[in-house]
Amino acid sequence: MLVQPLGSLAPHLQRVLRSPRAHQAVWRHFPSCAVPHLHTSKNLMSSELKQSDANQRKTSKAQLERIRRADTGSPFSVFTAGAARKRAESVKSQMGVELAETSTVTKVGKSLVPLKPLNVDDWKKLKTESPNKTRFEVSMMEKLLSARADIDVAKSLLVFVTMENGTVEYELLLKYLALCVQQQHLTEILDLYGMMKTRFKILDIGAYSLFISGFSKTDRWREAVMFLDSIKKMVTPSPRNYGDIVISALKHKEVETAWMLFKEMENKNLKPTENTLEAFFDYGKSFCDDQYENKVMYILFYLRDNQIYPGKGLMQSIHSWFESIPGKQWEGHETTILHSGKCPVCNTLLESIQLSVEEYHLLRECVMNDIIQGTDTFKKTTPQELQHFQTFVKNRPPYDIVIDGLNVANIAPKGNQSKILLDVVSYLANRNMRLLVLGRKHMLRGTRSWNKGHMADIQKYADCFFTENISEDDPFLLYATMHSGNHCKFLSRDLMRDHKACLSDQNTRRLFFKWQRGHQLVLSRYNPGNRMKFEIISKYDTIVQTTQDTWHIPYDEEGVERCSYEVPRKWLCLRKYN
Amino acid sequence: MWFRVAHIFQTFAGHYSLQLKTCVKNKVPLIRCQFMPHHRMLVLTSCKKNEEKKVSPDKLDLDIWKTIMKETASEAPKTCPSEDPVDAFSAATREMVQMWRLAGKAVPENITEEQLSIVQELPSKSAKKKYLKYLAIKEGKKKATKEKRKIKQEGAEYLQKEKQNGGGVELKNTFLLQFWQRSFDVMYNWRAAQSMLFGQPLVFDMSYESNMARREMENTVSQLLECEGFNRKSLDPFHLYFCNMMPEGSYHKELLKRYGDAWDRLLITVTEKSYVDIFPKDKLVYLTADSPSVLKSFHHDKIYIIGSIVDKSIQTGLSLANAKRLKLATARLPLDEYLKWDVGAKNLTLNQMISILLTVKETGNWQEALKFVPKRKHEGFLPVPEQKYCNQFKNHQNKTRIDNGPVKKARRQKSTLNLNQGVEKSSNKKRWWLDED
């Protein structure tokens, strides 16, 4: 039954892949886009299959149509998870460099670790043989730790040390403690704690962290909170410190303690680890009351507010937690969202990528203050130029597309730069767009790559503004786009990461990124003489979101490296049946 | 095998363990006692129980170190000297530092109150660790020099003794008195004084106080000290100006700290005024790595400005912004023209800058001057058709004044391109717009 639609798809897919356009040599000029595009059409088969599995109402006709649509506009935009990686790969393969796979150079045992406990004499012999006599014990313990050796070997080493020196140094004890924690010898950890407490007045942060993760697995997990307090006296504890205790508190059904710690972490601006969040969902299944449900909802909104995308493991925990709620029939599916912003499983329209009016004004303000003016207007431009530009923009009606002239002109390594720009500008102008082209003054000088005739033509099609050669043009681009209003888009391949970094706080950076995803046009294919193609701007926002009876949660796939300026592709759709 | 023997001694167990305790107390290495029967005894008392459980003999004594540790624990609980509870927080920090030391982290052995308060003020754990590591390295270096000095002193004393034993010192017949450092200083100061009257000014712009962290400021002042020293010792020194210097600012404080009394006797001009108030604007050239134009040859009638800033967090375009604001000419060193650049930023330290400028002032030879660029940053000199470069340049010499009119500027840049087209192509991202091909 499933094979059937696939069978009917296969020839079409092959046609798509073999279509002459895919084989044109030109795509090599656009490393950023062409390869991802091809890749998605190949991948499409599996994802489509899953969808048809989830939703059998879809006819194969609709699927065909969707494939065709995917072909006309790659769903794989620059902001999709893994795009940067693919770009790097294609650039490297073009340069003829084999992409060095993360070579797993395992430390081949040049220094062997004893496998069985040795007695004192053997250790003594080993020590005289070793090149590093002063720190022999510590380095040996480190080796044992990295080799995950048996704890008895470590113990025998400690016996040897006590026989030699009459005592064990703190550093060695610490390494031994790390070994115990690594292998979860809980009684040994408790013993060690008793010993260290009597010997040392306080311990260092490393030891406290180790004790926290050790104790939180035992019945004495409450004492771990005490260690946390001692750490707090010196530095801010790490998210893992908190996480260890939260997990054990949840395991012992002490929801209040866990919740208090979670809140504390949030107040300190620490990002909880994946495991911590997973624990809330995993252990939450056993005690399901309204109060706890509220807490879980709070966590989901926390993910939303901080734009945290769960990993595969956490996603599965969330999935099973929802399905375990008694009384309400939740059903979850993994899916990918259509271009239209519609979830193929439940047909819900996802949140729009457009900013709200207040958000838009806030962002515009911040872009003006932080990115363009900054601490010193002279860094990026001059006040006169800025003034000039502002009046220039103000005196003209809003634009539809603002073009980064230099970025667009350099899209192909070969070819006349002004010609490329003219092509793009005329293409867009013929679609009745009001255009603004930004550039630098040197473009007007009339050189071989900047033909004066071309430049004159461009000025016929569009308004142009040329900045000084030493000014930056990106801030002007952002300003002009924002000033023209919400409908205005900008055309550039630049990811604007440096400008995003100029923004003062995390929230505006997130707003900027959302705005960028919704307003940045990227030229995905350009072939002189042929039509050009732009990457599709997604209509929906990739963020954890909910309606009355659905939740949509984007998550990171396993094995896909996602950069900070990319968003996941896969979604978890949760739907409630009443 | 010797477990059996142990039974014989069993009755003496209490007695032996007592002996062991004293042994540990006196920190006598136990290994020496191994041949003594009583040591063996202690091992066996715990073994005996296990033997019945049929555990392999290897495993038997694995926990003995704990008993020993526990016994010694009561003796030595004072690894951390208890602090006065005056300032609990600083005491806690001090203890933390001590424990880090015990844990084998790079932290200093001794830490002063002032340093401690700096540690406390630092916001994050990594900042604290970094600062402590810095202190540890500093301490280590200090110790090493102390040691060296000691050895040297001992050697000198030994030589002295040898001499005394070998008879009186033979007096040499020379026509000069010994030339002491003092005489050198007089000569250098004489030169510096002359340069203050007739020398070419070189300006250090001290307006970056707010752009630097403490460490950067300290580094800047060290570099300034080196600059002044190198300048003084050169044949034809510059007349150094420290402009925009805020009295009681952090530059001033740090310089006072480093120079001490000598600060008031220094033969340089320190002023609160800006360079634009002192010198004619058209003579000023701001040297900055971000500049679009290249310093092709050194002009003896220009006044060069160096921004005295160490910029560890990358803040590009700071000094260029300053020059733009005051509408000054800017220039950068011809690094790409002469060197095959490899790694590292193009901004050089202040002392490297002054060395380069002094050399090019004396010799007019960039190849010679750019030897002061750190070797790690470049792969070697490029074969520049120097003659051509210099000759052609003379024709354009009057054009090097940097104009504010954009049209003129553009023309000037074009001429630059013609001059060094061959070199230019190599890799210069900054001026890619000059690329005409």
CA distance A373 to A367: 9
> What pLDDT is recorded for position B385?
58
CA distance A287 to A198: 40
pLDDT digits (tens, 9 = 90+) for A454-477: 999 999 999 999 999 888 889 999
Q: Is A456 touching B (CB cutoff 8 A)?
A: no
Residues B207, B322: contact at Cβ < 8 Å? Answer: yes
> What pLDDT is recorded for position B414?
40
Q: Which residue segments constitute the domains of chain A, with CATH numbers given?
A: 357-534 (3.40.50.11980)
Number of Cβ within 10 Å of residue B341's Cβ equals: 17
Tell me the domain boundaries of chain B: 112-155, 181-381
Q: Is B119 touching A (CB cutoff 8 A)?
A: no
Q: Of A157, A167, A449, A498, which to mutate for an interface test with B (greatest number of B Cβ within 10 Å)? A: A167
Going by C-alpha positions, the residue among A464, A463, A466, A446 that lies closest to residue A454 is A446
Q: Which residues of B touch A152 (CB under 8 A)?
A: 58-59, 62
Residues B213, B310: contact at Cβ < 8 Å? Answer: no
> What pLDDT is recorded for position A380?
87
Q: Is B265 touching A (CB cutoff 8 A)?
A: no
Q: Which residues of B touch A122 (CB under 8 A)?
A: none
> What pLDDT is recorded for position A163?
82
CB contact under 8 A, B103 and A204: yes
CB contact under 8 A, B320 and A470: yes
Q: Which residues of A touch B31 (CB under 8 A)?
A: 120, 124, 163-164
Q: Is B320 touching A (CB cutoff 8 A)?
A: yes
CA distance A274 to B264: 61
ipTM over 0.85: no
Query: Which residue of chain A is at minimal alpha-carbon distance from B25?
Result: A166
> What pLDDT is recorded for position B87?
62
3-state helix, strand, coil in chain B (%, to 5): 60, 10, 35
Element (H, E) at A303: helix A290-305
CB contact under 8 A, B23 and A166: yes
Going by C-alpha positions, the residue among A399, A402, A403 that lies closest to residue A485 is A399
In CATH, what number does B181-381 get?
Answer: 3.40.1280.30
Q: Give the mean pLDDT of B284-303.
A: 92
List, for chain A, all residue ranges whose pLDDT scores fall below the cut of 70: 1-76, 96-111, 529-530
Element (H, E) at B351: helix B350-363
Task: Name the token pair of B343.
Answer: 């790694």
Element (H, E) at A491: strand A489-491
CA distance B43 to B23: 15
Percent of chain B with pLDDT over 90: 45
Write out residues 34-63 of B within 8 Å (CB-CB) of A.
34, 58-59, 61-63
The single residue listed with the structure tokens 């004396």 is B362
Q: Which one has a higher pLDDT value, B340 or B94? A: B340
Amino acid A514 reads K
Q: Is the pLDDT of residue B177 over 70?
A: yes
Residue B353, CA distances (Å) to B192, B270, B356 in order:
19, 19, 5
> What pLDDT is recorded for position A150?
85
Residues B358, B234: contact at Cβ < 8 Å? Answer: yes
pTM: 0.74
CA distance A490 to A437: 10
Buried b (16+ CB within 10 A) or exposed e, A506-538: ebbbbbbbbbbbbbbbbbbbbbeeeebbbbbbb
Q: Is the pLDDT of residue B27 over 80?
A: no
CB contact under 8 A, B103 and A206: yes
Amino acid A382 reads T
Q: Which residues of B touch A167 (CB under 8 A)?
A: 24, 27, 68-69, 72, 76
Q: Is B171 touching A (CB cutoff 8 A)?
A: no
> What pLDDT is recorded for position A387?
92
Q: Is the pLDDT of residue B84 over 60?
A: no
Q: Is the pLDDT of residue B10 over 70?
A: no
> What pLDDT is recorded for position B95?
83
